[in-house]
Chain A
Amino acid sequence: GESVGLHLPTLSVQEGDNSIINCAYSNSASDYFIWYKQESGKGPQFIIDIRSNMDKRQGQRVTVLLNKTVKHLSLQIAATQPGDSAVYFCAENMWGYSTLTFGKGTMLLVSP
Chain B
Amino acid sequence: EPEVTQTPSHQVTQMGQEVILRCVPISNHLYFYWYRQILGQKVEFLVSFYNNEISEKSEIFDDQFSVERPDGSNFTLKIRSTKLEDSAMYFCASKTDNEKLFFGSGTQLSVL
User: B42 contacts which chain A residues (CB < 8 A)?
Assistant: 89, 102-105
Whether A24 is near chain B, meaning CB under 8 Å from some CB there, is: no
B106 touches A43 (CB 8 A): yes
Q: How many residues of B contact A (CB 8 A)?
A: 26
When C-beta atoms are compared, the residue in chain A nearest to B57 turns out to be A99
Q: Which of A46, A91, A100 is the most central at the interface, judged by chain B CB atoms within 10 Å of its CB?
A: A100
Additional 5 contacts, C-beta under 8 A, given A44-B103, A105-B42: A5-B40, A49-B99, A97-B56, A99-B33, A100-B45
Tell me the chain B residues, 83-107 only, with Cβ under 8 Å from chain A: 91, 93, 95, 99-106
Q: Which of B39, B40, B100 contacts A34 (CB 8 A)?
A: B100
Question: What is the bound-complex CA distance between A100 and B55, given in angstroms?
Answer: 13
Whether A12 is near chain B, meaning CB under 8 Å from some CB there, is: no
Question: What is the bound-complex CA distance between A93 and B91, given in angstroms?
Answer: 18
When C-beta atoms are compared, the residue in chain B nearest to A46 turns out to be B100
Asked whether A43 and B105 contact (CB < 8 A) given A97-B56, A98-B56, the answer is yes
Q: Which of B41, B43, B48, B105 contacts A98 (CB 8 A)?
A: B48
Whole-angstrom distance between the Cβ of B55 and the nearest chain A Cβ: 6
Q: Which of B40, B43, B100 is the most central at the interface, judged by chain A CB atoms within 10 Å of its CB?
A: B43
When C-beta atoms are compared, the residue in chain A nearest to B97 turns out to be A98
Tell me the chain A residues, 64-108 only, with Cβ under 8 Å from chain B: 89, 91, 93, 97-105
